[in-house]
Amino acid sequence: MHRSAPRLTRILACAAVPVMLVAAGCSSDDPGSGASPSPSASAAGGASAAPATTAAPAPSVAPAKFAKLPDACKAVTAKTVEDLVPEVKTKSGTPGKSSDMTSRGSCSWNGLEDKGVKGSDYRWLDVSLLRFDSDPTLGGGEKRAQDKYTDKVAEAKAAEGAIDVRTSSAPGIGNEARAVSYSLKKTGETFRYGVIVVRTENVVITVSYNGTGYAGAEAPAAGELMEGTVKAVKDAVAAVAAANK
């Protein structure tokens, strides 16, 4: 009877060991125990390790070649103004209004030459300059200038009241140029116009030269006017290049 009690105690103790081990294995939080992490823990860890997304870079455009415009009233030389507008009222020209002289400018000259009994000759010369910057949202300066060049040529061809409209290329001036000539009736006289629109890189230049005759003087010939327009627009193209040296 005395030997059976210790033996029974040892049997009960050995029977309890597997239960304790199982319990310990199921409740262990020790990463070294070999227990696999739960699915939710794996998912959480994967989410935190995911790389952050970045916004796509803005499209790049080539910088515009010309960053400046010349003074529009100095874009045509004094000698050219004297040749094209005899008896000019204001030799320095009359500047147009502009809120940004680096992007747009204009100037005009006019004069009336009295020839006595032969009548009077009236002449008007106008130059307009438009410069376009490169902009990632709007496009390159050159492309923007090309679009405006097309618009300006169409505008010249569609002048209100114009008759006998003729157009032709103007080779050798800038990157591209178009000449437009027409006649227009106003103040009881026939005015003749020579217009050239030219694009030089990212700048669009429009030169308009027109005139008429009063009191018996004849209106200028279309060819004569266009020769004067070519002379003035070449001055303007050279002035843009010089302003950006």
pLDDT in tens, 79-101: 999 999 999 999 999 999 988 98
| pLDDT tens-digit series, residues 202-233 | 999 999 999 999 998 999 999 999 999 999 99
Instruction: Decide: 58 and 214 in contact? Cβ < 8 Å.
Output: no
Instruction: Find all residues with CB under 8 Å of 18, minimum gap 6, and list them.
Output: none
Query: Which of the four CATH numbers 3.40.210, 3.30.70, 3.40.50, 3.40.1000 does domain 72-243 have?
Result: 3.40.1000
Kindly report, residue by residue over 136-177, the tens digit of the pLDDT.
999 999 999 999 999 999 999 999 999 999 999 999 999 999
What is the distance between the alpha carbons of residues 124 and 208, in angstroms, rounded to a whole number? 8
The residue type of 168 is S
- For the whole model, what pTM was predicted? 0.76
The residues spanned by each domain of the chain are: 72-243
